Every structure is written in C-alpha cells, then in structure tokens.
Amino acid sequence: MDRIDFQLHALYPQYSKTQWARFLSMGLVLWRGKPVSKGRRSEKLRIDTLDIQWSKIRSLGEWNIIPQGLPLQLIYKDEHLAAYTKPPGLPSHPLTTSETDSVVHRLVKEYVEAQQNQEGFLLNRLDTLTSGLILWAVNESKYQDLTPLFRRGSSLGIKKYYVALVLGHPPWESTECSVELVSRGKRQDPLEESDGSDTRTEFSVLHRLSLDGNEVSILTCSLEHGRRHQIRAHLKILGFPLAGDKVYGPGILAGAKKLDGGHGLHSWKIEIAPGQLYPKGLLLQSELPQWALMD
C-alpha cells in the first residue's frame, strides 16, 4: 500500500504531495484522535476513517498573498466567467508550496469557494513570463460547466490567439506547425512519429523590424486547445524562437525593457463558439503590449 500522503494526494489532487506531507506533519490528519504520520502506510486504517481538519487546511498560508509586480486588470465579467489581463512574471497558479503570489492567490480572496482547489477556478493557464488574457469561472458550478470547453481535445469550439515577438525574419507570410510534442522535464520536444492532429499552430507575420541591432518579427499565433508550451516549442522547430525565451531559444532579450520582464508572448484573444452557455458566441480581447505595437 502507498504512503498516506500519496493516497491523500491521489484523492485530493488540489493539494500536492508536498503539501499533504506538510499537513500530516502539522497534525491536521487524525485517526482515532491521534495524528497520522506521513510515512505511514494504510494496511491497518482506511482513508475514509481519517479525520481531516479541512477548515484549518483551507485557511493555511498558501493563500496568504504577498503581491509582487503589476496588478491583474479585470476587462470583462458576466454570469459565467471573468476575464483578466495577467502581467508578465506572475504565475497563473501556485507552482510550489512556498508561493506567495499568483493569479489564483489574488482571486481566491474574492472567490472564497475557490480556495478548495489548488488552481482555483482557472479556465486557461499562461506561462509565468507570458502576459495577457486569462479566464476565471465565477463559481464552482460555472467552473464545472466551462472546464470541458477548455479541455485539450474538446470539439466544443475554443480558439486562442496570441501575438509573439520572435528572433529573425521568417521567409513566409503565414505557415503552420503540426508537430506533436512530448514532455521531457520542463520542456516539450518533437515526437518523431505523429499525425499532429491535436497540436496545430497557425502563424502569420505582422511586421519585420530591427530592435537593438537584432532582426525580430511580430507574429500572430492561433491554436485550439494547445498543450503546454506549444507555441514556444513550435516556434523553435520553425527556427524563430521567442525573444527572451531561455528554454526554447538563446535567451536573447531583444529590446529587454519593452518586454517588461517577460518574454515575447501575449495572450491576445479567446473566441468561444456559439453554444449552450453563449448562444451568440463570445470574443474576449486584451490590450496589446507596447512591444506588439512596434512597426
């Protein structure tokens, strides 16, 4: 049998294994009135007999915010969701138990019900250095309704548009990349054999220019239900990595001051096709960053 902290994480994945180990060490999980050791295995007790101190767990310091950087900007809200513009450098959700600031940290203060979920009511996620449009369900019921629309592989009609600042001048005006990707550590690498059906990204050139002595270009990127780092990995495959991308590119910060501490990727628009929740569809759009307005 697995250790208790591993089993608790499997049942309640909104908290990581590290967090469950911490809760156990703090005596917040009891059996017959006594704290359970994190290393204990469950041959002699069942998970459903444990007394979990939920009120204390949910009020722990993981949601105690120490704001860093620029604020979130609310740009749209209805009875289903709220849309915000995320600044570069702010994580979408807590990446470690020691995190003190993220989109989730900031929003669970207003949406208390979301404190039970490690990722709150996030409907899409952006890399820490990516700026732009991020969506949040207004309650648990709407979160359950909306999450299937944003799940990878869904056919319910979500399209996402980004703008990117890349190194180099592409020889094409528009192209696409459908290379399937496989996770390897902190990055996505090409999968040698794939039909690419679920990872297509479309690119178009808006401007080609020179910035701080570097050839750079501004592109639009569009995709449906992409996987983590899809745009960044596809740009590397095409030979035009994001400016400032230290994982998929050389990390050269072309016009570093213009990127405001991020890399050259901004979530610009999200389009929801007509359906039950939005009979006429919905188009959400954030303001473009200054670097995307260069020509």
**Domains in the chain, start-ordered, CATH in brackets?**
4-59 (no CATH), 61-150 (3.30.2350.10), 155-295 (3.30.2350.10)
Cβ–Cβ contacts within 10 Å for residue 259, how many? Answer: 23
Q: Which of 54, 13, 95 shows the shortest CA–CA distance to 104?
A: 95
Binned average pLDDT, 10 residues per bin, the chain of 295 residues: 76 74 84 78 64 75 64 95 94 73 85 77 92 95 88 69 95 93 74 62 94 89 85 94 88 64 90 90 94 82
C-beta separation of 53 from 29 below 8 A: yes
pLDDT for the residue 97: 56
Q: What is the pLDDT of residue 175?
A: 97
CA–CA separation, 262 and 295 (whole Å): 20
Residues β-bridged to residue 175: 203
Q: Report pLDDT for 61.
A: 47
What torsion do the CA atoms of 239, 245, 250, 254 make, to the nearest 10 degrees?
90
